[in-house]
Chains A and B, each alone.
Chain A
């Protein structure tokens, strides 16, 4: 009897209840600052009425729901509760800030540790049911992301405008958009060059066995060097070159700025591309290649019609890894004058303005997560039907 009871407890949901309760009772919920640079005071959620009561009942609901594992209706309620917790935490802070901040005040309000932890709890709640088998395909896509849709609508309607991070955004809207696309463009060119070079080197290592150790240790070496040091190694030689040959300066090659950033980032992006291209080609079943040549294909046909299509899924997961890395490492490019979202991160660090740091860091994280999702889908699309079947998907 007891065993049967235990199987119905959803321990993951129970965990999120404990995380949420800890944040609710013991941690600060909003940070209030005199101005954007002063050190803040953390207020507990209990002072941010009336939303604290709503969140409290949502937590109780989670505790209740965690005793109904494998129950279809309870799972639907759970997934909606997760979304509602997410929205009500943000709305609570926004509501508080709307009452608190008058038009000309320098006061700043931002989310504090407790609110972030509550958002983590909401994420775990959503996760606990997101993969249940009874959810239909569209439900699996829509329901876990409802909070994103609602939050975006509220954001666009100016509901969060009194939060400090949004205020930081409005001060430098144009610069933000410029650096956002700059970040994307640096990452894009990095991945483009990394892919062209990386796939070529991977094919070289596969076709000409004697180059393999040299190629693999060459690209592996760059990945071990700290990113900032790698940029540093290129700045001096490039500065020297552009000083010696002025025509290089005219086409934009300088010691600091975009050129060393692109070179360094591209060298970083090589390892996942080379390794995955090589592994993808190497792991193709030898007998398939024999069938190809038996059908009268020549080497070029075998390469383009068999080897490349069959290794594309592995190459694409290399592309995903190097894209995510490139988006993250482009942050450092701001330190050598190439711009990008890192500009705000390091400006915020320099000024001691926490909300400016967050303004830079959140889009970087969002871009990485977006790239991850998109490239996973691309990989699924480009995986040949035959491979999908043999993997049992």
Chain B
């Protein structure tokens, strides 16, 4: 056992990076579920974002353009879900699952010409002398712009949901769509926008994997991250800061267990391998002991005639 081989600074920096795809996707899904929609297609939207972002970044040479394209790709795919569930009142669970399958297949098709291509790399933001500070520099001031965007997104979602009229309307639609409709709010319009927001966030989360974390394109490369993001939203009781906590906890313990393995710590590997899932769930379940419940209309179809 050689714990000195683990560099805690690099570990924390790595966990922030590892948590970002989950964080982006989960924040988007949180807004969707707050509007009363259960979209199980996160994985599909992520992988579409991963390939759209990758392809556009490679063609344009600009990773920023790639991320914009990833958000657009995810949002366009989510429109399909909106069309199915909001206009034709299809079952949300089935539509979401279909979206995931469709996204996985379509991304494999789109990505055929991009296997083995190296994308342009996203430079870390330079904070001048701040980035050179010991300890704090690499942890707080040594990341790529998308990671900071993810953190700001959580803050923004929290503030909008809590303090603005738009947030109140969104929550009203999610809690009781009939009442919101009776008050004159456009339930379907609000939900469609929320779904597109969720799609854009998931798309960016996928692009973070293909452009920054790995960086390459491989079929099926999101490998279940979308499902973890979905579960995280529930365990975080639909609260943005808990989503952040959960994502960092999950990313952190994933990184830590790999580090411990590398350092040869004598804990059986099976326990290490399952620890991220276990600890994240335990912590969030304990936290959710308060009375926060799912949005009242979550997953229920809405029709104005209702």
A binds B: no
Residues of B whose CB lies within 8 Å of any CB of A are none
